[in-house]
Amino acid sequence: MSKNIDSIINKFTNSNRDNLIPILQEIQNTFGYLSEDAIISVGKHFDLPTSKIYGIATFYDQFVFKPKGKYHILLCNGTSCHTSGSKKNLTEIEKILKIKDGETTSDGIFSLQTVDCIGACALAPVISVNGKFYSKVDLIEIKKIIKFYQSLEK
């Protein structure tokens, strides 16, 4: 992984610190998350302490530090979704997959993340799996959605 990280960093022709965020974005786009190795390599490149790179990366919600599952489930917990049953949906997903919010299944197939708002309030409650939106989901629909993605793995 370290060799690949270095090749991403070296794509950016100057060591200007203005490239820090784009480099972190490119690394995450390639690997799906920012590993400890990536943070260390970027710090060495910019001659900055690892803690500084980590501090900058944690400031932005877009960066994640653990690998996501093959199927990343986003569950909206905004006001419309919350009042329409997103909490029950969250409980059902956690029960079926045996993971909590922010976790990935041990086989790396599913990960779960709640977000404050997906921006589809009229369709509440909403979940998204790898960017595919499901609207007005209830407990029965949750089971069908998960079963569908599980079937793709057989």
Q: What is the CATH classification number for the domain harbouring 77? A: 3.40.30.10
Q: Encode pLDDT of 56-84 as tens digits.
A: 998 887 788 988 899 999 999 999 999 99
75 shares a domain with 55: no
Residues 135 and 86 both lie in one domain: yes
* 143 and 85 within one domain: yes
Choose one of 59, 89, 105: the last residue of a domain.
59
With bands split at pLDDT 50, 70 and 90, how would you rate the model's confidence at 1?
low
The CATH number for 15's domain is: 1.10.10
If one counts the domains in the chain, the total is 2
β-sheet with 71-76: strand ranges across: 110-115, 71-76, 127-129, 132-134
Q: Give the pLDDT of residue 67.
A: 87
Whether residues 28 and 85 share a domain: the answer is: no
- For the chain, the average pLDDT equals 92
Is-contact 30 37, C-beta < 8 A? no
pLDDT at 49: 96
Please tell me whether residues 136 and 104 are part of one structural domain. Answer: yes
pLDDT at site 69: 93
Is the same domain home to 103 and 130? yes
What was the pLDDT predicted at 66?
86
Work out the average pLDDT over 24-51. 93
Same domain, yes or no, for 80 and 100? Answer: yes
pLDDT tens, residue by residue, 19-36 = 999 999 999 988 889 999
Residue 110 lies in a domain: yes
Residues 80 and 105 in one domain: yes
Q: Is the pLDDT of residue 142 over 90?
A: yes
- Domain boundaries, position 84: 71-151
Bigger pLDDT: 136 or 61? 136
Query: pLDDT tens digits, residue range 119-130?
Result: 899 999 999 999
